[in-house]
Chain A
Amino acid sequence: MMMIDWSNFTPWASLAGGIALGLAAAIFILVNGRILGISGIVGGLLHPLKGDVVWRLTFVAGVLAAPVLYKLLATPAAVRIDAGLPTIVIAGLLVGLGTRYGSGCTSGHGVCGLSRLSPRSMVATLAFMGAGFVTVFIVRHVLG
């Protein structure tokens, strides 16, 4: 039987945030002609090609500026990072390697890929969501 965590459930904020993500992806494809995929955009900076760098940097600068603007408008909600440093390092390595190997992450495959009904992105999304569910199950309910 599934138990819903009603105390932390934020359907409206999450829907609104999701719509903002969709609008950002819409601007990026229709105005800039690019897929809004964070891992691909950042990964491309690690083997810079001529004429293929500036758009990546401008976009990343916008992402990094987001908390600055947000803080002017509202107080950011408190965040909880439970993982210890060794786990953070292993997780970061896996996320970096996996997203490049699988050609995308939650934004490129999950948002853009599913939006354009790409079977390839659907498989990738099922793979990372599935692995995420299983990993949390093992950490919290088998080992924990």
Chain B
Amino acid sequence: MYLSRISEFVAGLLFGIGLMVAGMTDPGKVLGFLDLAGAWDPSLAFVMGGAILIGFFAFMIAKKRTLTFLGGALHLPKATAIDRRLVVGGLLFGVGWGLAGFCPGPALVSMAMGQPKALVFVAAMLAGMKMFEVLERRTATV
């Protein structure tokens, strides 16, 4: 059990450091990537490239297994539907990302770096997530 805990913590730590090294925790840099019509900074394409290069092989291995290296359950996503929720959700997220230059992971790291605006962003993000929970529960009970 404690091995799982260590692994979770290390994964989070490596993820956070990766975001910092990659430049993802700098909204100015993220927006420089999203600004195709301005002076475009293609760096973040290299972030995706590097991550997918490793991820591709990791998931190739994961798909062939039923248990994790520690013998636990391996939860691969089962959803395959390409529906309105997925697209509308993605679009809303993209607008928010383009407005501030923060997506969820970098916002958490930036908050931990002591950036006051990141703290405000994370609070608003949690409120948005809570709105989803409330809306979902309302539709679920109708």
Contacts and interface: CB of A to CB of B under 8 A. Distances in A.
A21 to B, nearest CB: 4
Interface string A75-90: 0111111110101111
Nearest to B65: A30
B55 A25 contact: yes
Contacts of B53: 18-19, 22
The winner among A39, A68, A119 for most chain B CB atoms within 10 A is A39
A62 to B, nearest CB: 2
Judged by DSSP, the binding face of B is: helix
A81 B105 contact: no
A43 B38 CA distance: 34
Nearest to B136: A100
A101 B94 CA distance: 12
A131 B58 contact: no
Contact of B23 (A10, A87, A141): A10
A42 B22 contact: no
A47 B132 CA distance: 11
Interface residues of B, number: 117
A68 B54 CA distance: 25
B51 A135 contact: no
Contact of B85 (A22, A35, A93, A102): A102
A107 B26 contact: no
Contact of A82 (B31, B51, B72, B127): B31
Given A2-B36, A8-B43, A111 B52 contact: yes
A95 to B, nearest CB: 4
B105 A106 contact: yes
A134 B94 CA distance: 9
B23 A95 contact: no
A140 B90 CA distance: 21
Given A91-B97, A130-B94, A17 B54 contact: no
B9, B72, B88, B96: most-surrounded residue (chain A CB, <10 A): B96
Contact of B110 (A24, A79, A106): A79
